[in-house]
């Protein structure tokens, strides 16, 4: 099996490439320096040249707030680019794994969203990622859509790095306490993605580390584990306005992984401890 990874230099893509290497799976990673994902000819050219059995599509426009100011660019990357990847996979009869997001849901209530639940994104980013999902489903039969949330890793920016940086500048921080979700460590997620692509159980899945928390609780745990004395003041979302609307409920039901025989990821506090120990 040969795997092509898009967004290979990104936060998740970097760890996916490492996970493939550890498993001895032939692979190649490509990024924006290698091709323009919004150019169909460029996408077809790079997929044809590598002729993979599977494409793990990590490349995406992920600047949630900036997307509200650049909706067309966000759409071109997340919708058009994903469509081109799917069409190229169709041409060479390759499987495709598309990394999606909790933002495809409206984020109401306190229930855990099932992969089969109705979607209803409330931001440009969420809408374009859902359009990407539909593009994949409309073109391919051999696809995996994996929705993830609150990602952090050693590469790229994330909430943990932001909290550690701000802890050097302030002794107290105002953090939102009415958004609930599951932090997801790329080092844990990447092997799971590599395992999924070895199956033929196509469909939509959710994958995050176990446990849920608010952003304020996440921050408190970061400072506790890092041995930092920072006061976290809990505030409501409406007290911290952002350009993009965030889902208040990002709980994702992951029982679907059991159908694949895949063990669920460790608790997010365990993941955080390993992240901080690196």
Mean pLDDT of 1-29: 98
Residue 40's pLDDT is what?
98
Mean pLDDT of 219-238: 98
Q: What is the per-residue pLDDT across 27-83, written as a single tens digit (0 to 9) for each?
A: 999 999 999 999 999 999 999 999 999 999 999 999 999 999 999 999 999 999 999
Q: What is the per-residue pLDDT across 95-115, written as a single tens digit (0 to 9) for each?
A: 999 999 999 999 999 999 999
Mean pLDDT of 139-167: 97
Residue 236's pLDDT is what?
97
Residue 138's pLDDT is what?
98
| Superfamily of segment(s) 2-157+184-208 | NAD(P)-binding Rossmann-like Domain (3.40.50.720)
Residue 30's pLDDT is what?
98
Domain boundaries, the chain: 2-157+184-208
Active-site amino acid positions: 125
- Residue 11 pLDDT greater than 90, yes or no: yes
Q: How confident is the model at residue 117 (pLDDT cuts 50, 70, 90)?
A: very high
Residue 258's pLDDT is what?
87
Q: How confident is the model at residue 116 (pLDDT cuts 50, 70, 90)?
A: very high
Residue 126's pLDDT is what?
98
Angle, vertex CA 206, rays to CA 205 and CA 210, nearest 5: 145
- Residue 1 pLDDT greater than 90, yes or no: yes
Residue 260's pLDDT is what?
84
Residue 159's pLDDT is what?
98
């Amino acid at each position: 099996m040969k795997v092509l990874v898009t967004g290979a230099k990104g936060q998740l893509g970097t760890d996916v490439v490492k996970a493939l290497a550890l498993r001895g799976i032939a692979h190649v990673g490509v990024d924006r320096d290698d091709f323009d994902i919004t150019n169909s000819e460029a996408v077809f050219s790079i997929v044809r040249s590598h002729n993979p059995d599977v494409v793990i599509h990590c490349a995406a426009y992920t600047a949630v707030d900036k997307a509200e100011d650049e909706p067309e660019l966000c759409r071109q990357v997340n919708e058009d680019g994903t469509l081109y990847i799917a069409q190229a996979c169709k041409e060479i009869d390759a499987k495709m794994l598309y990394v999606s997001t909790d933002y495809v849901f409206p984020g109401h209530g306190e229930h855990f969203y099932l992969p089969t639940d109705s979607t209803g994104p409330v931001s440009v980013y969420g809408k374009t990622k859902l359009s990407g999902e539909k593009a994949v489903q409309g073109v391919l039969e051999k696809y995996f859509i994996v929705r993830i949330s609150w990602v952090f890793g050693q590469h790229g920016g994330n909430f943990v790095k932001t909290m550690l940086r701000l802890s050097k500048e302030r002794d107290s921080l105002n953090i939102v306490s009415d958004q609930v979700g599951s932090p997801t460590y790329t080092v844990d997620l990447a092997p799971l993605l590599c395992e999924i692509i070895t199956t033929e159980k196509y469909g939509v899945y959710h994958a995050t580390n176990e446990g849920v928390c608010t952003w304020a609780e996440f921050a408190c745990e970061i400072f506790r584990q890092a041995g930092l004395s920072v006061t976290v003041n809990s505030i409501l979302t409406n007290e911290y306005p952002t350009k993009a609307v965030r889902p208040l409920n990002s709980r994702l039901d992951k029982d679907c992984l059991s159908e694949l025989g895949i063990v669920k990821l460790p608790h997010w506090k365990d993941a955080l401890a390993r992240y901080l120990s690196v």
